[in-house]
């Protein structure tokens, strides 16, 4: 993205976080937030103090939250902590499409099916309960399990049917299993492995690479229910549109509004809703181009009032109700 688009993204994030209600994991008093800026630097902030001020001062492109609990008021530092580790939940993540592709709603639905099977497995292996299932705001779904003080057993193959014939069949089929799993998992997400805080993205925060929000999802959701919930993932306008020029070939995709967009060839100019256009621009798959003056600030200033139209109406209604109650 060029510098003008980066500045406009920062301004949009600042306006959004000025009114957004973030969904912190509980208990808030034992958690910390990690904000990542556009230059890749990050810092720790208490989730119950100072976060709003930090978000407005220099809006981050990503907002994460620790789910580990520490017996201290100080944040984790590198590989060491400043206090005793009190424990934490179990986290899982599913990513079902490449980060160079636009969002596809149906692939998120497929992620929910995987999560449902994971919930069944965890319940069978111990007293694990799914505390929170969230759409990450881009490629997949996150699920967080808490564990009771009396777990039933460890998650292991021990205790399964161990007859010699079944074991031989299992060993014989390992190569086939490895090839099958490899078709689904073509790469290792080293960023999550090296930095586990990336899994716990704060609900209702905006993913800086997709212009979509991380939103909570209901467990055992049907495909139609998932698509309805995903409509809340974009805080931007679907009623106003702008021209964009694609930087590469974009395959057809079903966006969160349920509409199908594409395919688009490299260098094509098309008119898209602002929410869809920002999704492609923030992914660096397209750049804004309006008829007339070809300046990013042109469409940005013209579309500013409609980007958060729903949020502005909600704030106005809240202010009116507060005035009536005080009067």
Reduced to 3 states (helix: H, G, I; strand: E, B; else coil), residue 264 is: strand
Compute the average pLDDT of residues 31-40.
67
Select the CATH number that applies to the domain covering 3-152+186-311 from these four: 3.40.980.10, 3.30.1370.160, 3.90.920.10, 3.40.50.300. Answer: 3.90.920.10
**Which range among 94-98, 118-122, 134-138, 275-279 shows the weakest confidence by mean pLDDT?**
94-98
d(CA 1, CA 285): 9
64: pLDDT strictly greater than 90: no
Compute the average pLDDT of residues 261-273.
93
Compute the average pLDDT of residues 148-176.
57
pLDDT tens figures, 85-96: 445 567 777 776
Compute the average pLDDT of residues 208-213.
92
User: Would you say how long the chain is, in residues?
Assistant: 327
Backbone angles phi, psi at 46, to 5 degrees: -65, 135
317: pLDDT strictly greater than 50: no
pLDDT tens figures, 230-247: 989 998 888 888 889 999
Nearest alpha-carbon partner for 285 in 212, 205, 230, 210? 210
Beta strands in 183-264 (DSSP E): 206-207, 212-213, 215-216, 241-246, 253-254, 260-261
- Which residues have a Cβ under 8 Å from the Cβ of 297 and sit 6 or more positions away? 4, 8
pTM of the model: 0.72
d(CA 88, CA 145): 9
* Alpha carbons within 13 A on the beta-carbon side of 311: 18
Q: Give pLDDT, residue 79.
A: 41
The full set of domain ranges for the chain reads 3-152+186-311
Q: Give pLDDT, residue 170.
A: 66
Q: Which two tokens stand for residue 87?
A: 């424990």
Q: Which two tokens stand for residue 105?
A: 């709603």
Nearest alpha-carbon partner for 67 in 86, 95, 42? 86
Backbone angles phi, psi at 208, to 5 degrees: -70, -5
Compute the average pLDDT of residues 296-301.
48
């Amino acid at each position: 993205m060029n510098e003008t688009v980066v500045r406009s993204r920062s301004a949009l994030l600042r306006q959004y976080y000025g009114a957004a209600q973030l969904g912190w994991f509980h208990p808030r008093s034992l958690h910390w937030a990690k904000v990542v800026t556009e230059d890749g630097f990050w810092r720790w902030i208490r989730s119950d103090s100072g976060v709003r001020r930090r978000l407005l001062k220099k809006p981050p492109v990503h907002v994460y939250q620790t789910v580990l609990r520490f017996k201290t008021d100080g944040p984790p530092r590198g590989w060491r902590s400043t206090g005793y580790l009190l424990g934490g939940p179990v986290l899982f993540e599913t990513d079902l499409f490449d980060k160079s592709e636009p969002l596809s709603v149906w692939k998120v639905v497929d992620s929910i099916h995987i999560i449902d099977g994971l919930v069944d497995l965890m319940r069978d292996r111990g007293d694990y309960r799914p505390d929170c299932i969230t759409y990450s705001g881009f490629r997949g779904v996150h699920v967080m399990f808490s564990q009771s003080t009396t777990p039933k057993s460890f998650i292991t193959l021990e205790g399964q049917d161990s007859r010699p014939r079944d074991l031989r069949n299992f060993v014989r089929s390992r190569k086939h299993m490895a090839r099958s799993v490899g078709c689904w998992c073509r790469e290792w997400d080293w960023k999550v492995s090296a930095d586990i805080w990336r899994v716990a993205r704060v609900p209702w925060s905006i993913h800086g690479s997709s212009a979509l929000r991380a939103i909570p999802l209901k467990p055992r959701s049907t495909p139609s229910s998932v698509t309805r919930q995903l409509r809340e993932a974009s805080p931007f306008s679907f009623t106003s549109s702008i021209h964009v020029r694609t930087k590469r070939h974009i395959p057809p995709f079903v966006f969160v509004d349920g509409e199908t967009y594409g395919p688009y060839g490299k260098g094509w100019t098309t008119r898209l809703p602002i929410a869809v256009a920002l999704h492609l621009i923030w992914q660096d798959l397209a750049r804004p181009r309006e008829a007339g003056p070809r300046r990013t600030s042109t469409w940005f200033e013209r579309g500013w009032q409609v980007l958060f139209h729903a949020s502005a109406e909600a704030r106005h209604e809240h202010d009116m109700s507060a005035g009536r109650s005080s009067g």
